[in-house]
Structure 1
Amino acid sequence: MKVGESGTDILKNAEFTLSKDGTSLKFKKATDGSYVIDPKGDTVLTVGTDGHFTIQGIDEGSYVLKETKVPDGGYVLPNGDITIALKDKNGNGSLEQDEVTLTTKGTYELEGTVELETNKVVMIVKNSKAKDMQLPITGGAGTVLFSIVGIVFMLGGVLVIVRNSKRHA
């Protein structure tokens, strides 16, 4: 699920990519709205109006989920990614809670706990809005010091040129 800063406002139309072993996976959208792996499909996974997207048919392994487009409304694109590791330790074809590991890199923020629901990993990815940017303060004491040092160097250069020109004249 995709939510905003408050954790309750549902965000739609965010876009993600999913890769395995450095290769972006391709999907087609099924009639039920879920994404199914298809080599002829598209790499973009779009969050629906309910704030969700579902992927079917992925195997065990390590996957990297990365947001590529944020929802409208001034949200910031997180840097980094989310790694999803799936390992069926029991070999029974069904995932248990300890067989799913999520790790985040960068500014990704997951809200609450990750749950397994009928063999689906359910997580809530949170977006933050852009903060007002503060410009650096200029004209401080350092500016005056740098100006004085610069003037002294320029005067020194002028004196060297004048002295050299008198010697050669």
Structure 2
Amino acid sequence: MNRRKFILASSLLAAAGLGVWSWPRRWRYIVIHHSGGASGDLALLQRVHRERQPNDPIHAIPYHYVIGNGHGLAMGEVASDWRQEYDLWGGHLTLHNLTRNFLGIGVCLIGDFEKRDVPESQYQALVRLTRALMTRYDIPAANVSGHGMTPGESTQCPGSRFPMARFQRDIA
């Protein structure tokens, strides 16, 4: 049995054991990331994730959602793969945050916000997605953070030019 089938079967069994309704209802956090590159799509993010975490049993992107910047994915396009579809835990935080990987939805904006500002269309797509997820899973604004603002993480992600104060106001 390949890793993907194994992890999918295990996840479905775990979900059945927890009850069908409680599995997707476990989400308590949303963590915002940037890709760090000028362009990207699901295939690129999957390749990078496989290179960085070769032993991850899930052959998918580490995030639940990706928002395009017009270079690989359309500007503001929200994309996801089967990690989101099956409500599987994320691989978007370090080992210091296994709980937030399991309970947190990872959203990645394509771009490097150390070098450039977030395009307005991409930013608005993030606000809409975040608000929808907060409503759907009853996640308070206090539980939405940037990767680098997440306790235990030491990174600049989602970048010094990401408008975090504005974002926090816009989702409140």
Q: Same fold (TM over 0.5)?
A: no
TM-score range, shorter chain: under 0.3
TM-score by length of 2: 0.27
Report which of the two has the higher share of helix.
2
For CA contacts below 8 A with separation 6 or more, give which structure has more relative contact order: 2
TM-score by length of 1: 0.27
Report which of the two has the higher share of strand.
1
